[in-house]
Structure 1
Amino acid sequence: MIAPFQPHLAALLGEQLASGTFSRVSLFGGDRYTLRMSTAIECARVLSCAHGGGEHCRCPSCTKFATLSYSDLIIVSQRDHRQRIEAALAAFLHDPNGPWRNRLIQTIRIPLLGFHPILLEEAGSALQNTAARAEGMNNLLYELTAEGVLERNRAEEYVRDLRKTLKDFYSGLPKSTTVSINQVRSIDSWVHQTNISGQLRFVILEGIEQTNIAARNALLKLLEEPPKGVYFFLISEHPSRIMPTILSRSRQYLFPPLSEENRRSFIASYGLTESNYDSLRSFFLTQSGVNIEESRLLVDRLLASLIDGRALDSRTIASITAEIEKTNSCEYVLSILGEAIAKSVLSRRYVAKAVALIDETYAAGLLYNQNQRFTFEALYYRLLEER
C-alpha cells in the first residue's frame, strides 16, 4: 500500500521484515502526510501474518488488519484526524464497494483505538463517556464491514450516520495532545500480561516528543527490554526533541515528503481526477471543508490589525471566529498566522512572544475544544495586548 508513495522506505522495511531483522522498537520520523502511521500499521500486519504478509493475503490476521479489528493492537494518536476522515468519506461515496470501504473503516478506527479497554482502566468518568461514544462508532463500523454490495442511497445513509456519530465523539475528546503517564502505565501492564491469544502485540504511539517527564521515564523503562512478542512503533514530527536514551533504544527511519508525482498518485487513489494541490496538507484541508484562500484572507485581516495595533470590531471578530469554527480550520489558521507574523515587519521581540502564544494555544490541546471560536478570539486579544 505504501510502496507506490514511499518506494525507498518500503523496499528497506520489506527487506528487514522478510529477513527477520526488523526492530522491536521503531521510530518513524518526518513531517505530517508522509504515511508514517500507514507504514506502522502495514509493518504490524506483515509481522502478524503467518504467510509472509503478501499484499493480497486474506488470512484471519490480515483480514482483521484491513479494518483495524486486530485485538492486540493499541494506537495512541491524539492529533486531529477529521481531515483524513472527511477525505476517506468522500472516497467511499465515490466507490462504496471498492477498497475505500475498508480504508474508511481503518481511518476512523485509528483514533478509536485510543479507547482500547486496556487504556481505560485508570480513566476518569469523562473519558469513560467518550469511550462509550467510541463503542457506538465501532458498532456502526462493524455493521458497515458486514454489508454486502451497497447501493448509492445506502452508502449515503452510512455517511450521514457516521458524521453524526463522529460529531458526538469529537465533542468528548480529551484536550491532551500527547501520550499520558496513565496510558504508558496501562500499556506496560498489558504487554507484561500472559498473552492467551498467542498473537503478536503491537503498540503505536504518536507525538511522544510532547510527553511530560514522568511519561517519558515510564516509556523509557518499558522500551529498555520489550517483552517477547511485542513491537513498538514511535511516530514523531520532531525526533530531535525526543530523549536521547529513547532514541538509542529504537531503530530510526526518516520519512521524506512525497515527490510531486507520488503526491498526485496518492490523491488520485482517493478517486479524484482533480489533483492540482500544492501539498497533501492542502488536499486534506480542502476535503474537510476548509477554504484555503478564505483562510489566508482572514489571516491577512488579522495581521493588519496586529501591525496597526488596533482591534477589529466585535462583529468582524465574531464573523471570523464563527467561520473558523464552522470549517474546523483553527489549526490551519493558527499555523499560517504564526508564519505570517514571523515574516512581518513586527519587532523580533513581539514575533517571539506571538509565536510562543500561538504554540501554547496549539500545544494545550485547545484545537479539540468544540468552542474553537472562543479559543481563537481569546488568542487574538492576547496577541493585541502584547502590542
Structure 2
Amino acid sequence: MVPGYKRKTPEEILQEIEQLKYGKLKVYIGSAPGVGKTYRMLQEAHELVAEGVDVVIGIIETHNRKETADLVSSLEIIPKQQIQYKGHILEELDTEAIIKRAPDVVLVDELAHTNVPTSAREKRYMDVEKILQAGINVLSAVNIQHLESLHDIVEKITGVKVRERIPDSFLHTADEVILIDVTPEILRKRLKEGKIYHQSKIEQSLANFFTKGNLSSLRELSLREVADDVDERSEKAKLRDGQTGPIGTHEKIMVCVQHGGNAERLIRRGWRIASRLKTSLTILHVSNEASMNRSQEERKKIQDWKKLATQFNASFIVEQMNKRKISQVITDVAVSEKITQIILGQSARTRWEEIKKGSIVNNIMREATGIDIHIVSDQTKRG
C-alpha cells in the first residue's frame, strides 16, 4: 500500500457519486465593480457556444456598458420572473424556468444579490444551489467585498457596510474560482471614461470607494482569498486521493459573544482563524437568563448569531450562568469542548468593576491551562 494512503469508506464513495449528479460551478471574482468579471463570463459563454455547448443567460447585469451588452445580444436569454411587491413589478432570476429549460450551462450574474422578499429563496446564491442540484452547470460572478467573513475588514478599508453578502462556504463549493485582476490605475481610468458608472457618479466614486488606497487593499484581499482557495483545494484533492496529514487536528477555536456591536465581527474573525488552521469553530453565548425569561432583543440576537454560525458551519452553544462567574462558564465549556484557543472581545467592564469583580481574561487564564486567549479590540470605542 502507498504510504499515507487511506481507503475510502462506503459513505465517502456514496457521497462522491451523489456529487457527480450536481452541476459544476465556476465563479469569477474581482476586487471591485468594473474589473471585467461579467465581460469575461460572457466571452466564455461564446467560446462554449462555438464548441456546441447549450448555453443560456439566466440573468446578466450590463450596467449600460456597451461592450458587455454587445456580448449579450446573440445569446439565448431566459425571461426573468415578474414579481409584484408593494405596488411595483420587480424582476428576478426565474430559477424554475431555467431548470425546466435544462441547458448545459447557465450564466447567473451578481451572486450576492438579495431577492424580493416574496421570492421562493432569500438570496440569489440559493437559486444557484437549486440549479446546481438539477445538474445544470453555472457560471457566476461576485466581488470580494461580498464575502461574509471579510465584512468587517472591507468596512474598515472602505468605510462602507456591505449589506449583500454570501457565505464563504458557498464560494468554497465552487469547482473553479477565477480571479479577474486589474490594477487600481486601470480601474480608475475605466471609471473616468464612464465604463463603470454613469457620469453623475464618477467624481463621488473616485473620491470615496474608488480611491487608490481602497482599490489596492481590495486587490490584495482578492489575491489572498484566491491563494487560500487554491491551498484548500490542494488539501481536499490530497484527501480525495487518500493521502492523510496533519490539518489542524490539535486546534479547536471558540469565540465568546455577548451583547454589543462586536459580536458578529468576533465570529467572522474566529472563522478566518479556524479556516486558516483548517479546524472547527465553536461559538459560545453565556446568558444570565433561562431561555423562557430572555428578552425579545436577546432572542433576536441569538437567532442572528445562530444564522451566522450555520453559514460558517460552526457549532453554537448557549450556556446559562447558573450562579457561576462568566469566566467560570467560559472555562467549563472550553474544557468540555477541548478548546485550544479562545477569542474574546475587549471587556466592557470599567477599571473599577475589574477591581471589584476581577478581570474576565485574568480569571480565565487562572482557571484554564494550555488555552491561548485572543483579545479583539472594540472598534466602536474610542478615548
Whether TM exceeds 0.5 here: the answer is no
Asked which structure has the greater CA Rg, the reply is: 2
Relative to its length, the structure with more strand (as a share) is 2
Bigger relative contact order (CA 8 A; separation at least 6): 1
